[in-house]
């Protein structure tokens, strides 16, 4: 009898432990399940809001998504129309290649297309030598840029991402920050979104045809707007991708993916955000109604709307604080002394500061003109005339 009771109690304890363990796993799990990559993140391109992350700040090898940095530095150099003479060092670069020839002359712009679409390591070295003066000089530029844009856990050692240095790494978060920065550049967006590019071939009358390796862009996901693939034996698969739907622009990054699940992981992350979140006007442009100070009342204004992506349940999670400089007594009589910027707006989401905006002083004349301009735009849209 006692043995039966003892055995029953052991079974009850075991079941209880199992259920507690399952409950713990369930409650800590993200709404986005099935992400097998070691590191992952999905970020809003406009505001930088992170919707989902997994080991996003852990340093990892990044393989050829390194070339996003190489591309944006080349584009910002202003040398895209310059002709590059391909060196022996570039031709000897290991791994993926666009099969450049030593001594070949090719435009820097074509090299950037070969870099982004076909992941040419030879193109990466040719770009680095031309823009940076040497591969080492270009790597210095890469790390300078990384520091400037806030990539705090990143160090570049080459322009292509090959595993030839131990101190070449980044994080999923930092690569999203880099992509957010790069996507502000029109030329980068155009190159990243290209499905195919034709470049001169010195050995043939037929042009080279470079098809983008990013299958999300070319065949798998209709909302894809670009990105960059990567792979080395040590880094495994890495992927950065961008997508846009109904005015929302997203960035997804996965690192150290063991198999070709990264395509579906990115689609899964994008679809979750597109379905669950939408932009909400947190601070509207125009006069700030809450301002009661006699000097500033009806004159303290926000220049443009601030929008933030939220779910339906998050609408009440914002706090907005208006901080105004103390007006001088003379300003009541002489309003020309009032500075253009009279304070700032601080925006908090879930008690965390996410953004600040200047508060402008608008004179009576400026306020009238602003109202008249708005009226003209509304009236113009009614009669089918657009103001330009």
| pTM score, whole prediction | 0.84
Paired tokens of 307: 């929008």
Which of 28-32, 176-180, 241-245, 276-280 is least confident?
28-32
C-alpha closest to that of 32 among 273, 278, 277, 258:
273
Q: Tell me which CATH code domain 280-383 carries.
A: 2.30.140.30
Class of domain 39-276: alpha beta
- pLDDT (0 to 100) of residue 321: 95
Reported as a single tens digit per residue, the pLDDT across 134-158 is 999 999 999 999 999 999 999 999 9
- pLDDT (0 to 100) of residue 273: 97
- pLDDT (0 to 100) of residue 333: 83
Active site residue 64: yes
* Percentage of the chain exceeding pLDDT 90: 76
Active site residue 119: yes
Reported as a single tens digit per residue, the pLDDT across 83-118 is 999 999 999 999 999 999 999 999 999 999 999 999
Q: Is the pLDDT of residue 377 over 70?
A: no
Reported as a single tens digit per residue, the pLDDT across 291-331 is 888 889 889 999 999 999 999 899 899 999 999 999 998 98
- pLDDT (0 to 100) of residue 290: 87
DSSP 170: B
C-alpha closest to that of 297 among 306, 289, 305:
289
Q: Is the pLDDT of residue 376 over 50?
A: no
Q: How many CB atoms lie within 10 A of CB 1?
A: 5
> What's the chain's average pLDDT?
88
Structural domain boundaries in the chain: 39-276, 280-383
Which one is predicted more confidently, 113 or 380? 113
Collapsed DSSP state (helix, strand, coil) of residue 225: strand
- pLDDT (0 to 100) of residue 179: 98
C-alpha closest to that of 280 among 243, 332, 316:
316
C-alpha closest to that of 176 among 308, 79, 305, 269:
269
Q: Is the pLDDT of residue 3 over 80?
A: no
Catalytic residue of the set 96, 119, 192, 224: 119
Which one is predicted more confidently, 25 or 305? 305
Which one is predicted more confidently, 356 or 367? 356
Which of 188-197, 252-261, 366-375 is least confident?
366-375
- pLDDT (0 to 100) of residue 322: 94
- CB contact burial 169-198 (16+ within 10 A = b; e otherwise): bbbbbbbbbbbbbbbeeebbeebbbbeebe
Q: What is the average per-residue pLDDT within 220-229?
A: 98
Reported as a single tens digit per residue, the pLDDT across 26-66 is 223 355 777 999 999 999 999 999 999 999 999 999 999 99
C-alpha–C-alpha distance, residues 388 and 386, integer Å? 6
Q: What is the average per-residue pLDDT within 352-377?
A: 71
Q: Is the pLDDT of residue 121 over 80?
A: yes
Q: What is the average per-residue pLDDT within 275-291?
A: 93
Catalytic residue of the set 37, 39, 64, 170: 64
Which one is predicted more confidently, 291 or 219? 219
Q: Report which listed range, 13-22, 27-36, 157-166, is most confident.
A: 157-166
Paired tokens of 362: 């608008």
Which one is predicted more confidently, 24 or 75? 75
Catalytic residue of the set 54, 67, 180, 228: 67
CA atoms within 13 A on the CB side of 260: 4
């Amino acid at each position: 009898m006692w043995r039966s009771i003892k055995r029953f109690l052991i079974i009850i304890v075991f079941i209880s432990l199992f259920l507690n363990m399952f409950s713990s796993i369930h409650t800590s799990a993200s709404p986005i399940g099935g992400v097998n990559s070691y590191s992952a993140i999905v970020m809003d391109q406009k505001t930088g809001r992170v919707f989902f992350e997994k080991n996003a700040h852990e340093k990892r090898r990044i393989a050829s998504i390194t070339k996003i940095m190489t591309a944006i530095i080349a584009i910002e150099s202003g040398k895209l129309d310059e002709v590059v003479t391909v060196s022996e060092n570039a031709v000897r670069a290991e791994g993926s290649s666009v099969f450049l020839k030593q001594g070949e002359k090719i435009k820097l712009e074509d090299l950037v297309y070969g870099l982004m679409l076909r992941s040419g390591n030879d193109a990466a070295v040719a770009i680095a030598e031309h823009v940076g003066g040497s591969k080492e000089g270009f790597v210095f530029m890469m790390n300078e840029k990384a520091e400037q844009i806030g990539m705090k856990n990143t160090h570049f050692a080459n322009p292509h991402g090959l595993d030839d240095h131990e101190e070449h790494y980044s994080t999923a978060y930092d690569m999203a920050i880099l992509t957010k920065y790069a996507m502000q550049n029109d030329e980068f967006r155009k190159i990243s979104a290209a499905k195919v590019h034709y470049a001169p071939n010195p050995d043939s009358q037929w042009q080279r045809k470079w098809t983008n390796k990013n299958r999300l862009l070319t065949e798998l996901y209709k909302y894809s707007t670009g990105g960059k693939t990567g792979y080395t034996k040590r880094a495994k698969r890495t992927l950065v991708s961008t997508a846009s739907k109904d005015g929302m622009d997203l960035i997804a990054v996965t690192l150290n993916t063991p198999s070709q699940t990264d395509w579906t992981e990115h689609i899964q992350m994008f679809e979750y955000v597109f379905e669950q979140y939408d932009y909400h006007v947190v601070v509207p442009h125009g006069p700030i109604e809450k301002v009661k100070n006699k000097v500033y009342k009806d004159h303290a204004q926000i220049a443009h709307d601030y929008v933030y992506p939220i779910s339906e349940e998050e609408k009440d999670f914002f706090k907005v604080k208006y901080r105004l400089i103390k007006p001088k007594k003379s300003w009541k009589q002489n309003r020309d002394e009032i500075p253009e910027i009279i304070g700032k707006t601080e925006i908090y989401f879930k008690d965390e500061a996410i953004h600040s905006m200047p508060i402008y002083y608008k004179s009576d004349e400026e306020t009238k003109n602003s109202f008249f301009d708005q009226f003209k735009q509304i009236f113009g849209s009614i009669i089918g005339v657009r103001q330009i």
